[in-house]
Amino acid sequence: MIKKITSVVLVVIFILSVFTISGGAEESTATLKFNKDGSFKMMLVADIQDDHHLIPATLEYFDNAIQSEKPDLVILLGDNISGVPSDFEDIEKARKNTAKAIDCYMSFFEEKSIPVAMVFGNHDTENEVTKEEQMQMYMSYDCCLARDDGEEISGCGTYNLPILSSDGTKTAFNLWFFDSYLHDAEKGISDNIQQDQIDWYISESERLKKENGGKPVGSLAFQHIVPKEVLDAKILSGETNEPPSPSSGESLQVPAMMAQGDVRAIFFGHDHVNTYIADYNGLHLVNAPTSGFGSYGDYNRGLRFVTINEKDTSTYETYIINYFETYCTDDFSRCRYYVNSSISPILNCLKYLFLAPFNGVSPFTAIYEIFCMVS
């Protein structure tokens, strides 16, 4: 009798443990969650566009902004690296340099324990290392939430990330990520989102809608290339310091999103010195400026922050922390910015070397920074 009771107890414990384990596994698939106050903040990092010698000022900028703003998620908006130096006949050297370039910032975010989502841009595959290979490099970091979508969808890195409600009971918001720069051996390069990506988006959007009682789940979308509708949109705020460089193919994305009624805004990089928010029939098109020092940007380098709140998912708040305006507060910091930005490089390199020892920077560090800038 005792053995029988014991067996029953063990069976019950086993059944309960199975339900507990399966429930936990189901919850772990959605790793993002609104904070207790209902907020969720994202830091958009656009166009780092550097190689395996990442300019130190870039990470210092990220570090300062993370400490002050405390984002819940970092989103890399493409052109995360440039075509890293390699012998095009030495694929292993190319892979090594590419992995090192990615590690320069991913290891930093890993150390900060901040989850990272990402998309690819037009400069990420300027050597022979494919996006699929690079995605595996990204996915090797515990902080990376991006994923390879497989061969069923064009490109690499079209996926979505749900954000759970603060109590963890439901999907309260959704983030869409699109590979917007594709290469087909037969068709050539395309900088617009393809029909199979749109089909996937509509299918997932409908699934989320069904799970939400028939109501669209509020969403934001992220990609690298500018949607062509920006040419017919009304600028609400920010600056257009260079002509937008939108996709050139047939527009499929914006009409689909407007029909689905879930996406509030599309965020993108690509045009380094633009900071505008534009309205296209109620859908916002938002440019994030370059966040790194690896390419042009002058005084416009910045990090765009986006905050949503589960109490009202029909809207969002966004602002930019401009590097020069925020952190260049004296002659030395301004000079350092000029050096890293290649503004009057020869004069400011000499000035920077002279000022460095008087501002707690060793001459060796100053020389290394100058080397990173000119290399």
Measured over the CA atoms of residue 56, residue 61, residue 292 and residue 103, the dihedral's sign is: positive
Residue 335: the pLDDT is 83
Measured over the CA atoms of residue 175, residue 265, residue 283 and residue 79, the dihedral's sign is: negative
Express each pLDDT in 87-109 by its tens digit: 567 888 889 999 999 999 999 99
Residue 56: the pLDDT is 86
Q: Do residue 246 and residue 161 come from a single domain?
A: yes
Q: Do residue 216 and residue 311 come from a single domain?
A: yes
Residue 2: the pLDDT is 40
Q: Do residue 349 and residue 247 come from a single domain?
A: no
Q: Do residue 55 and residue 79 come from a single domain?
A: yes
Q: Do residue 192 and residue 225 come from a single domain?
A: yes
Q: Do residue 139 and residue 245 come from a single domain?
A: yes
Q: Which domain holds residue 17?
A: 1-30
Residue 11: the pLDDT is 36
DSSP 189-230: EE-S--HHHHHHHHHHHHHHHHHTTTSPPPEEEE-SSBPGGG
Residue 26: the pLDDT is 35
Q: Do residue 3 and residue 41 come from a single domain?
A: no
Q: Do residue 254 and residue 318 come from a single domain?
A: yes
DSSP 242-253: S---B--S---H
State pTM to two decimals.
0.86
Residue 300: the pLDDT is 93
Residue 16: the pLDDT is 36
CB 97 within 8 A of CB 86: yes
Q: Do residue 132 and residue 248 come from a single domain?
A: yes
Residue 185 sits in a domain of what CATH number? 3.60.21.10
Provide the number of structural domains found in the chain.
Answer: 3
Residue 185: the pLDDT is 45
Report helix, strand or coil for 348: helix
Q: Do residue 54 and residue 148 come from a single domain?
A: yes
Residue 187: the pLDDT is 55
Distance in angstroms (rounded) separating the CA atoms of residues 346 and 348: 6
Measured over the CA atoms of residue 24, residue 25, residue 28 and residue 29, the dihedral's sign is: negative
Distance in angstroms (rounded) separating the CA atoms of residues 265 and 219: 8
Q: Do residue 1 and residue 52 come from a single domain?
A: no
267 half-sphere exposure, CB direction, 13 A CA radius: 33
Residue 44's identity, in one-letter code, is: L
Residue 86: the pLDDT is 63
Q: Do residue 121 and residue 143 come from a single domain?
A: yes
Q: Which residues of the chain have pLDDT under 70?
A: 1-30, 84-88, 183-190, 344-345, 372-375
Sequence-separated (6 or more) residues with CB below 8 Å from residue 284: 236, 264, 265, 266, 277, 278
